[in-house]
Structure 1
Amino acid sequence: MLAVLSITAPIFVLIGLGFFSARIGLVNREQARGMGAFVIHFALPALVFKALAERSLDEVLNWPYLGAYALASLSLFGFGLLLAWRWRGQSLSQSAILAMGMSVPNSGFIGYPIAVMVIGPTAGLAMALGMLVENLLMVPLALALAEAGQQQGRALTVLRETARRLLRNPLIIAIVLGLAMSLSGLRLPLVPARVVEMLAAASAPVALFVIGATLYGMKIGGMAADLAQTAIGKLILHPLLMLAALMLVPGVDPLLMVAGLLFASAPMMSVFPILGQRFGLEQRCAAALVGCTVLAFFSVSAVLALLRWQGLLPG
């Protein structure tokens, strides 16, 4: 148990530090948003680029892991969509957003900082591969379905708009550039490489601090059913489905398997309320984000304890 806490405690201490800083007024919401912009536009792209550019293309395009990751996430998304839409009677828009919250983890701000403490540099590769699935498949699918629920005939419009935004997304640009460097076999000169390394090193602690500062002031209440669905789906079903998919798909590297389970046990992405705002769901999404981030301490600890019990943790 102490070994598990030695991994999870620093993560949630940093989140708590961000929350406390916002609570006492040391950091306001605009400052937290600025730090988040630094992580999204500079630190995480540098980390993703570094993880891809320093590996061969065969290692980067790990099809078994990509397939298992996509299989688990799509399966849970489909289940969550049907649960909310057909069985709970929610609108298609609300159901698609809730299903996205169940199946798309916070890979960069929480999943990676935990995984890098457990498996080291391989966590960066796992994050880059996961983001390929999340940004090119899961999020566009969820937004297209949510838009289709708002107004018939606009699904293609939202897909085109999503594609345009993805092309300008710093993380996607970093993935493309990293893949190009991997394919070419070239390496950055010393000074740019050092800059990338320094930015990448800042990603985990700043991201966790921002999560804590962002959580301050968010409210939970009157949304028990939605919170229960997203929490159970994201923190319990997603790790279980990820484990099943990783075991079913042959050839998955053991370190990537550990990373996939840790990412799946993380809460949903921090921009979940922002994506839900377009459909009038920002309060529900914010409540789910708060609840799942708090409960993630237990889900991550449980996954780490299971991995240690099975002897799958390195070292």
Structure 2
Amino acid sequence: MVYAQILFPDFSLILLGYLVCRFTPLNRSVWQPVEALVYYLLFPVLLFQSIVKTPIELGPASALIAAGLLSGLAGIAMAYALPYLPGLRRHIDAREHAGAAQVAFRFNSFIGLALADRLAGPQGLQLIAVLIGVSVPLFNVAAVWPMARHGEHHFARELLRNPLILATGAGLCANLLGLHIPELLAPSVTRVGAAAIALGLMAAGAGLQFGSLKDNRPLSVAVLSIRHLLQPLVAWGVARLLALDAMQTTVLLAFAALPTSSSCYVLAARMGYNGPYVAGLVTLSTVLGPASLSLALGVLR
């Protein structure tokens, strides 16, 4: 399988968003409301639908869930440990680290859902939806915690205002209770989900920024190394440890190698941190995404 062909549709939409924003009248003033629409409405609907659509069988999925949580916790631990490493301690500002640590373990769900569908069809889509469902609450708690602590924000309030946590929590509860989206609404919800992926990828491209990356280089290298090198390696080790089957291993490796979430910038800026710097990290992570996905799906798999 030629992974460049699998990755091309998603990254071409990111490139299109970048070009449209930079070289047409549809500039940042247009794309900022689009980002808000995707983050607060379209993407939560997509997450809810992806989780509810197919009943989760906890028995067969338990190993994959455990693998996703173990590799995610490893990523969080590595990100939190950076200010305490001897070679990095004096080069990392605590406040900059609080805003940037999330880049090391959060993921771009738009790319993940689109990629899983092409890699493994409906089954792959359900598997990655399960991973997203159990990981989004954990990763958002881990992202908000250091920023709330350093910025004196109310931790619980920030979590309760997070639309991704609300959507995934509601989706998991509905799935486990056997609830479904009414048949009359299903086509509309499906179209909202398709719009979320396309607009989300283009909005990620429109938000690409390179100018701030010259600041805090040790921190930048560290968080991006965790996201694009160490996370796929950890996922590979966990998949072997838990003896995942081929389908689950493929989805877990793809999940671990995704670029970081474009909403890292939204969260950092909203909580009063260095938004342009985090946007630069998101930009470089998006550029590195094809390399880490090729490593995970081509070499490690």
TM-score range, shorter chain: 0.7 to 0.9
1:81-160 equivalences in 2 (<5 Å): 81-87=80-86, 88-89=88-89, 90-106=92-108, 108-149=109-150, 158-160=154-156
2:254 paired residue number:
262
> Aligned to 1:215, what secondary structure does the other structure show?
coil
| TM-score, normalisation: structure 1 | 0.82
Structure 1 portions without partners, runs of 5+:
311-315
- What is the number of residues matched between the two proteins? 297
Match of 1:291 in 2: 284
Q: Distance in 1 between the 2:179 and 2:147 partners?
A: 42
Two-structure CA RMSD over aligned residues (Å) = 2.8
Go from structure 1 to structure 2 and tell me whether the alpha carbon gap of 1:54 and 1:290 turns closer, same or farther (over 3 Å shift). closer
Letter in 2 for 1:109: F
* Residue aligning to 1:280: 273
Distance change (3 Å), C-alpha of 1:193 and 1:60: farther
Which structure 2 residues correspond to residues 33-112 of structure 1 after superposition, within 5 A?
Answer: 33-59=32-58, 62-87=61-86, 88-89=88-89, 90-106=92-108, 108-112=109-113
Kindly indicate whether residue 189 of structure 2 is the aligned counterpart of residue 193 of structure 1: no
Deviation at 1:146, TM superposition (A): 3.8
Distance 2:42 2:159 in 1: 23
From 221, 226, 237, the equivalent of 2:219 is 226
* Residue of structure 1 equivalent to 2:236: 243
| More displaced 10-residue stretch of structure 1: 125-134 or 237-246 | 125-134
The answer on whether the counterparts of 1:46 and 1:197 sit within 8 Å (CA) in structure 2 is no
Summarize the Cα distance change of 1:82–1:188 in structure 2 as closer, same or farther, 3 Å threshold.
closer
Contact 1:39–1:203 under 8 Å retained in 2: yes
Cα deviation digits, residues 73-122 of structure 1 (max 9, x gap): 2112212322333432234444344432111212x232222222212223
Separation of aligned partners in 1, 2:262 and 2:237: 26
Checking the alignment, whether the CA contact within 8 Å between 1:181 and 1:187 is kept in structure 2 is: yes
Residue 294 of structure 2 is matched in structure 1 by 301
Cα distance, 1:237 vs structure 2 = 0.6
Q: Is the Cα contact below 8 Å between 2:148 and 2:155 reproduced in 1?
A: no
Calculate the TM-score normalised by the size of structure 2.
0.85
Structure 1 position 25, deviation (Å): 2.3
One-letter amino acid matched to 1:165: R
Secondary structure of the structure 1 residue equivalent to 2:185? helix
CA contact (8 A) 2:133 2:172 kept: no
Q: 1:22 Cα shift?
A: 0.7
Alpha-carbon distance in structure 1 between the residues aligned to 2:204 and 2:67: 28
Give, as a single letter, the amino acid of the residue that structure 2 aligns with 1:77: I
Q: Corresponding residue for 2:158?
A: 162
Deviation at 1:234? Answer: 0.6
* 1:52 aligned counterpart, secondary structure: helix
1:20 is displaced (CA, Å) by 0.6
Letter in 1 for 2:103: G
1:175 is aligned to 168
For structure 2, list consecutive stretches of 5 or more residues without a partner in the other structure. none
Cα distance change on mapping 1:53 and 1:135 into 2, 3 Å: closer
CA distance in 1, matches of 2:79, 2:256: 15
Q: Percent identity?
A: 24
Q: Cα distance, 1:141 vs. partner?
A: 2.9
